[in-house]
Structure 1
Amino acid sequence: MDELESLTRDLVATPAHDDEAAVGDRIESWLREHTDATVTRDDAPNGGNVIARRGDGDESLALVGHHDVVAPAQSQVADDGTYRIEERDGRLHGRGTADMTGALAAMLLAFRETDPAGELVFASFVGEEDGGVGARHAIERDVAPDYAVVGEGSTGYSGPSTVDVAVAHKGRRASTLRASGTAAHASEPETGENAVYRACDAVDVVRDLDTPATEVLGHRLVGSLVVTEIDGGDAWNVVPDACEVTIDERTVPGDRAALDRATEVEGVSWDVEQDLPPMACDDAAFADAALDAVAGAQDATPEQVVKPHATDAGWLADAGTTCVVCGPAEPGEAHTDAESVSLDALRTCRDAYLEIAARWP
């Protein structure tokens, strides 16, 4: 068993869905023991972000991940409360192997082993699964590197088992339309104002809205807009006075659907519950350097791709960091009861992180 597999196993085994403090402790202690970096632990919720710095220069490059995970299935938890992890057919199976503790292990080794071209930062955030809590906390305290490689999944987009480089990803805006009306007996509907009808009128507006699209470094990124739930009324014989409609919107850099138009329907209001920002790499040279590093670390020919869902790269990009996403997770692995990661992809990512840190900026 090599050091990468051993470190991945150690980190993955540590529970990290309710409180990330324990795995944060392991990451912090490893950095202090195995590197000469300046290591800090901030006061972000659930145990704090772990941030380390080494090297110097006018510009900084960060290797970025998160050490929280979603709640495991019972089959992924051992009798002693640790997370199960096992190797089968060249893959490590267990909660967090793909999203994204495996990538963290690869980043830690690259951070230690490289001779950085400038200031090299390692950052592992808490609360990514809760809307980027840790990333936002760090950014508010001026942790915003010039460049970043975010270790979320980019494997298997251009071809099976190929580690690619994502130069853009969609964001997510979750919102609710709330229609109000006036209750009445269903035998005399004309004496009331039916909130469900108003909600349906608002849904018609949503269905007619244009879906934003954009292009990032020659790659087309198209958003989506979907009504996902509708809830109104509380009795068969009562005209409903309230109805709610939830909307999942996948956003693209620089644009949003004009959902406020739904409020032109009488009695309808609109509230945004979550707005995870999209990401677009704004430096073609950095994206090309990352692709070159990934290409040199594997036999396959990788491509620059786009991802369909949000990551902490969106928060960093909003703060002015030039980002790409590169990690071992494949589509469909994260958040599943059978989550796993390829050991070959982990090794490719470790070598690619080493190379990009040695040559950039």
Structure 2
Amino acid sequence: MSKVLELTKELIKKPSVTPLDEGCQDLIASRLKKLGFEINHLPFGEVSNLWATFGEGEKTLTLLGHTDVVPTGPVEKWTNGPFEPTERDGLLYGRGAADMKGSVAAFVVAAEEFCQKNPKPNGRLSIMLTSDEEGPAKDGVKKVIKHLTDQGEKIDWCLVGEPTAERKLGDVVKIGRRGSINGVIKVQGIQGHAAYPHNAENPIHTSSKALNEIVALQWPDETGKFPDSILQVSNINSGTGAHNVIPGELSLKLNVRYSPSISPQTVIDAVEGILQKYKLNFNSEWEDSGSPFLTTSTTLINSVIESISNVTGINEERSIY
């Protein structure tokens, strides 16, 4: 069994459903400490964060990942238990095998091998891990970066281990990301009996035309590097569940992945403008969960491309997330 596969299985066995880490970072820290890494645990609330550094050079390369996983869903629907790593038909199954304990294991083992061969590197190698990526993502990387900045730390290059392959290992490298804004819209109506609609106001009916316009919203990308910005409704909820009760409220959740051509306020103004156009009684909450960016460091990009080519023999595709 390869070192990467062995470590991946050890990590999968730990039920680290976000925001819990369940000992994943302790396991990794103990391995890195033996090689001379300086270990810093940076907990915030329930979230575990790890910052480990090796070397004393001026420039710092950071390998970034997360140890938390999404909830398993109904366990009885799994062929094997979600935290029982299982090999089947040449594939490894288990919660987090792809996103992203396999990747974490790969770069930890790579770091171990590098440090053994280069005990005094020309620069610093660091590993940053959080258990708050799959959840609200408020007590993880954001707070770690602020802490490191306050300490005078600087990261020159960062390689994120999130899985990006589409057909085979190494075929796609993400060199940027769209921004992401989440919205919750609540449209108020008047609850009543379905037999007497004149005494009620059905928010599903009153919102229907506005919803049709909202789902059609789209903003063209003007940079030539990103896809167009699109809106997706992820949840609609209304009513008591009874057939004969007109609901008093409609709740709508939406997400927009946006390019640098627009701002979060562009999205807010467009959505709320439509709701106001139809004179709906509504309130809204918005969260900008990530700004768009594009990597321009040719040093990092070229190093990644060369490494992929040397190991896999393929020429990758550059893509924006």
TM (normalized to structure 1)? 0.71
Q: 1:224 aligns with which of 225, 230, 249?
A: 230
2:272 equivalent to 1:260: yes
Structure-1 residue corresponding to 2:5:
5
Structure-2 residue corresponding to 1:280:
294
Are the aligned partners of 1:171 and 1:275 in contact in 2 as well (CA < 8 Å)? Answer: yes
Cα offset for 1:182?
Answer: 4.1
Between 1:57-66 and 1:284-293, the stretch displaced more is 284-293
2:311 equivalent to 1:297: yes
Q: Determine the C-alpha separation between the residues in 2 that align with 1:85 and 1:242.
A: 44
TM (normalized to structure 2)? 0.79
Structure-2 residue corresponding to 1:68:
68
Structure-2 residue corresponding to 1:244:
251
Cα offset for 1:259?
Answer: 2.5
Within a 5 Å distance, the mapping from 1:14-93 to structure 2 comes to 14-17=14-17, 19-33=20-34, 35-46=35-46, 48-72=48-72, 73-74=75-76, 75=78, 83-93=83-93
Cα offset for 1:6?
Answer: 2.2
Distance 1:237 1:104, change over 3 A: closer
Q: Determine the C-alpha separation between the residues in 2 that align with 1:92 and 1:135.
A: 28
Are the aligned partners of 2:173 and 2:316 in contact in 1 as well (CA < 8 Å)? Answer: yes
Q: 2:159 aligns with which of 128, 136, 149?
A: 149
Between 1:44-53 and 1:237-246, the stretch displaced more is 237-246
Structure-2 residue corresponding to 1:337:
none
Cα offset for 1:280?
Answer: 2.4
Q: Determine the C-alpha separation between the residues in 2 that align with 1:302 and 1:2.
A: 25
Letter in 2 for 1:174: N
Distance 1:89 1:170, change over 3 A: same
2:176 equivalent to 1:168: yes
Cα offset for 1:276?
Answer: 4.1
Cα offset for 1:269?
Answer: 2.5
Q: Determine the C-alpha separation between the residues in 2 that align with 1:208 and 1:295.
A: 41
Cα offset for 1:96?
Answer: 1.5
Letter in 2 for 1:282: T
Letter in 2 for 1:252: S
Distance 1:280 1:61, change over 3 A: same
Cα offset for 1:189?
Answer: 5.0
User: Considering only aligned residues, what root-mean-square deviation do their CA atoms show, in Å?
Assistant: 3.0
Letter in 2 for 1:250: R
Q: Determine the C-alpha separation between the residues in 1 that align with 2:205 and 2:123.
A: 60
Are the aligned partners of 1:45 and 1:134 in contact in 2 as well (CA < 8 Å)? Answer: no
Q: Determine the C-alpha separation between the residues in 2 that align with 1:76 and 1:276.
A: 35
- Of structures 1 and 2, the one with the larger relative CO (CA 8 A, separation 6+) is 1
2:130 equivalent to 1:125: yes
Q: Report SS of the residue matched to 1:225.
A: strand
2:221 equivalent to 1:209: no
Distance 1:160 1:29, change over 3 A: closer
Are the aligned partners of 1:21 and 1:46 in contact in 2 as well (CA < 8 Å)? Answer: no
Q: Deviations over 1:145-191 (max 9, x none)?
A: 232100001223xx544443111233443312221234566676566
Q: Determine the C-alpha separation between the residues in 2 that align with 1:229 and 1:2.
A: 42
Are the aligned partners of 1:177 and 1:199 in contact in 2 as well (CA < 8 Å)? Answer: no
Are the aligned partners of 2:7 and 2:105 in contact in 1 as well (CA < 8 Å)? Answer: yes
Distance 1:254 1:24, change over 3 A: farther
Structure-2 residue corresponding to 1:270:
284
Letter in 2 for 1:31: L
Paired residues, what number?
299
Q: Determine the C-alpha separation between the residues in 1 that align with 2:71 and 2:122.
A: 38
Structure-2 residue corresponding to 1:134:
140
Are the aligned partners of 2:218 and 2:230 in contact in 1 as well (CA < 8 Å)? Answer: no
Cα offset for 1:244?
Answer: 2.0
Could you tell me which runs of 5 or more consecutive residues in structure 2 were left unpaired when the two chains were aligned: none
Q: Determine the C-alpha separation between the residues in 1 that align with 2:90 and 2:282.
A: 54
Percent pairwise identity: 24
